[in-house]
Every structure is written in structure tokens, then in C-alpha cells.
Structure 1
């Protein structure tokens, strides 16, 4: 029977994430030669190489991908074992590191912490603001314990790495310059804006959400400017330089900007939470998830469109 070494599995997993031995070694605070030697030893243990040279770099072999697939299951089981031990020994105490996109921090996390302080004063939460596109990488790497991210559609596909939980569907309104010819149009539809210059992100979930929402209305938005910060986006709209979708969670009140509800189209962005698979049974994570769900439920009660 093979004497499995989880440290070598972690090195293999980091190589898959980073793409090069040098980058993997840096992420693991090791030398490239130490990582190479460990992966060579893993290959000898399993009976075949896990990396192969391609020019001056290496790539994972098919055998490595088989090991990684099993590794995901193993690490999920270890997460669950750690959570079960935690539950047995003490319950909801300690630290939970949470990563979230900016509006998620303000609208969901901060109110959740108010609830948490009342119910679990022994539990401490550390917040890390992150781009929505980076949350799952931070979660997989172990830099955070729980993440909030965004998607154009509610996630239904299983992912062996994470356990996801939906929080709310955030309605998207459209922001136009106050003097725009369509600012007061009755029954404004998204398709009415097909020929307008648009402002949206150059990459990441917000770009994907904008493209998906506009595609559902039958057009591809023409990018006039790329921006991800809501203050910048609203400033560009205010200056008459384009139109933009604006989530309801964002405070869009600004002189010179007309925000219209797209009642007929009803576009949404989906806010989801996630933990590493197996960790969802840990009491401290369950407590944070419970408070997040409670805040989201209250928002849905006050704003049924969510």
C-alpha cells in the first residue's frame, strides 16, 4: 500500500494553481528544488511521473490529474474531520476569516457581525475585501475560511472544492445621465439601450454579469469605458459618458444621474456564500452563515424584489 504524504499532495495542488514550480515554491515558502524533489519522490511512490518537461517548464501528467481528483475528496474529508473535532471540543469560538466584494461587506457582512456579537461574543470575524473574481482562489488556498461572491446565474453545478449557499438575488437597475433622451421613457426596456455607450468592468464577474444580462435582452453592450468601482462608474454616467447597470445594494443616489428600474426585464446578479467542502459543519462557520442568511432574509422582506 502507498504511504501517502499530504504535504506532497499540497505541493502538487499548488503547482496546478500556480502553473510553474517557481511560483508554487514561492506560494509554499519553499525553494523550487525542494518542490521538484518532493514531486519526483511522489512519482516514485505512485509508480509514475506526476510532472513532465515542456521546454523549460513542466506540466502535470494524466497521473497527476488522477491524484488531484482524489486529493480534492481527501482534503474535503479532512476539512470535515477538523470541523467535527471542533464541534466536539468547543463549538462556536475562535476566528473566521471572511472575504467579500466591497458592497457585500457593507450590505451583508457588517450587519451580520452585529447579530454575531449578540449571539456568539466568543467568535471573532476578520474581514478581507477582495474582488469577487478572487474570492474562490483565496478560499481554495486557505487564505480565507468563508467567501462572498457574485454570479450572473444562481450556481447549480456541483463543485468538489466548495459548498455554496445562496444569499440573495440583487436587482439591477440602469443608471443614465439625468438629461439622457431615455431618462424619462415610460416602460424603459434594456433593449432600448442597445446602441448606447456602456460602462462596465474589463474582467471578472461584473463584466460577465453585464454581458449575460444584455445578451438576454438580445444585444452585446458597446464598451465606452471600463471601470469596477461604483463611484467611478457613477461619475462617468453623471458626466454623460455612458450608461451602466447598477446593483440595488449600491447607493446610487447622485446629482445628475437618473436610475431607472427595468420592471419588464428584471435583471439580477446573484450573491452567494461558500466554504471549502467539508467545513460547512464547523460550528463557527455555521454561526456566520446563519447570521448572513438572517441579514439576507431581512433584506428580502424589506425589498421583495431580492
Structure 2
């Protein structure tokens, strides 16, 4: 697993963030107050315990502002940190550091918050075989960043977009006239390399789906008792050929019991739509 996103993916997004911050005239505060020949040395420091993500993105942000500035990472994506630990040493022209500061911190704070929250979920289910996965409930245009942060926290990624895999949701089932019709249509319209997942909201729908062997069945808003029943029914019918995903009603207080039902995957929208910002700052040496 690579611990950095490809430059070709991150650069346009970072550039857009810098353009947003620079506005029409650039950093008029820094240009007005700080002489152009002043140099500075800073440290990026964690202000709480957690898991770091976005270090490479912060480094690219600084380089896009000033190619001569130095970003020396002490911690790397996926590393655990304690409050007060140094994440990176940063040096260069003071104007450049000030202009890049907020965008760097925004990325590291947002992504480390996601990685830290994900790690808490992963820790709670580590005694089971269940994997924690994200959803498409991401910030527009930041999906690659946020799903990367989930991986840094020990989670796995669900599909990145509508073209990754077939995921037949409840409204698809209704529009198709039932679970069986939806699965038959999907199988007849895609090639052998395209995985198929279907969402079911009852044991009856689960039993209707099983004979068509979808790759994944999403058990939506099942009670824990229903999840246990679904696991037994599916394993008796298909062994390990069908992956079972629990979805809906998952939070930090419920995830452990859900994992203990025997499901394979637990999808958690909160990883990306409700992660708190991670407190990180830049301090002068």
C-alpha cells in the first residue's frame, strides 16, 4: 500500500485550494508586514493524540507556494502521534511559509481527523474478522484525499464512484420490480470483471438474492439478531462465496456488537462525513 497519493491527483486540488485562499490579490497581510528577505524556521506540531494523514499533501502545498522552501517530515502518513510531537520541520522564506500555512493545516487537520476516527473504529473490531470501510459520503472534490485518510487509519475503501462496481440500492430494486429482476438485469449487462452488490432490508430479500450469487450483499439497518441470522443463512447457502456488509445505524457505540455478528464488512459513513478536525499547528522555533 502506498503511503502517498499520486502527485497528478493531488496537485490540481491543492492548487485550487491555494487559489481560493489567495483570492484576487494574494496575501496582502504578509506582503504588507513581512520584509521579503526574512527567513523562518517552524515546526508542525500535533496538539492531540491520533493518527496523521496528509503530510505529503502539506509538503506539496508548500512547494507549490515556494519551490525553495524545505519541508522535512518527521512523521509520515499513517503514523501515530502524541500531543506535542513534531510532525515536520519547515523552513524557508517567511512570506512563503505564512502564505502556505492555512492550506497546509487545513489538509492535515481534516485528513488526520478522518484517520484518527477510523483508527478508533478499527481498534474496536480488531478481535473479529470484520473490516471497517468508508462510503461515498465525502466532501465534494476531496474524495480521493478522504478515502486515502481512511486507509491511513486502518480502514478499507468502498467504491470511489458510480463506475467502480454495481451497487443495487433499495430505489434500484423498487424501480426494477424486485431483487431478482435487479440482479438478473445487472448480470446480463456487465462483464465478468465488474463486481455486483445488492442492498437488502429484510431476511426475505436476502433469501431472494442468494440464488443469484451477488458478490456482496449489503444488510441495511438490520438488528444485531437479524445480522446473526443473515450470516448463518448465507454461510449455510453459499459458504464464504458471498461477502456480507452491514450498513446503517453504525456508530462508535454500536460497531463492536455489529462486528461480533460475523459480518465481513461494516460501512461507516461517519468516517468521512462526521470526523472532527484534528488539532495541529505551526509553531516558530
What is the TM-score normalised by the length of structure 1?
A: 0.29
The structure with more strand, counted as a fraction of residues: 1
What is the TM-score normalised by the length of structure 2?
A: 0.30
